[in-house]
Amino acid sequence: MSAEHIQASLEKLVELHRSLNELATKKTEIIKQGDTEALNQLLMDEQKHIKAIEATEKERQTAVAAFLEIEGQEAEPSTITRVLELLSPNDEEALNRLKEELILEAETLKEQNYLNQQLVYQSLQFVNVTLDMLLPQNKQFNYDKPAKPKQQGSNSMFDSRA
């Protein structure tokens, strides 16, 4: 496989990450609105994107391993950095640009997911506070002697233990 296959898989990864970033931004708005139906649908869409990213990443790894093998290098580790060392300056520039774009998209996604995590956590805290206000717990702070269990003795006149 050539560098074009690696470049194509990186372009696809960048595009999938951009799309996932758009979904993460939509998720922020949906969380703010509290629309659980839309959130469930969006989570299913995210899962589809994640599966596509995993498949594309496997394609990239296969393409890199094949490229390294053609170049007479060991296939492991199959990283873009190793490929960049073996490419012509033009191919190296294009691949490096895609690598940087992918890193930027991944960092953006990480930040957006952190924001969404914080919003969900705050929403959960709000729900817990609301439940505590609506259903207060009857807590006794005084010492209370535990109740003794009642002994159930037989009411018969004959003691069968004897």
Assess if residue 66 is contained within a domain.
yes
Q: What is the pLDDT of residue 10?
A: 92
Q: What CATH code is carried by the domain that includes residue 65? A: 1.20.58
Q: What is the pLDDT of residue 138?
A: 64
What are φ and ψ of residue 144, in 5° steps?
A: -130, 130
Assess if residue 160 is contained within a domain.
no
Assess if residue 126 is contained within a domain.
yes
Region for 127 from its dihedrals, namely left if φ exceeds 0, alpha if ψ lies in -120 to 50, beta otherwise = alpha
Assess if residue 125 is contained within a domain.
yes
Query: Can you read off the two tokens belonging to residue 143?
Result: 């010492």
Assess if residue 17 is contained within a domain.
yes
Instruction: Give the C-alpha distances (Å, rounded to integers) separating 45 from 38, 40, 150.
Output: 11, 9, 60
SS3 (DSSP) at 100: helix
Q: What is the pLDDT of residue 51?
A: 96
Assess if residue 16 is contained within a domain.
yes
Q: How many domains does the chain have?
A: 1
- Are 106 and 26 within 8 A, CB to CB? no
Range of the domain at 127: 3-134
The C-alpha atoms of residue 11 and residue 7 are separated, in whole angstroms, by 6
Q: What is the pLDDT of residue 162?
A: 55
Query: Letter for the amino acid at 62?
Result: T
Assess if residue 119 is contained within a domain.
yes
- Which residue has 């869409």 as its token pair? 45
Under the banding of pLDDT at 50, 70 and 90, the label for residue 148 is low
pTM, whole model, 2 decimals? 0.73
Q: What is the pLDDT of residue 130?
A: 84
Q: What is the pLDDT of residue 73?
A: 78
The C-alpha atoms of residue 95 and residue 93 are separated, in whole angstroms, by 6
**pLDDT digits 0-9 by tens, 43-101:** 999 999 999 999 999 999 888 888 888 878 776 777 787 788 887 888 888 888 999 99
Assess if residue 149 is contained within a domain.
no
Average pLDDT on 114-131 reads 88
Q: Does the structure show a pLDDT above 60 at 17? A: yes
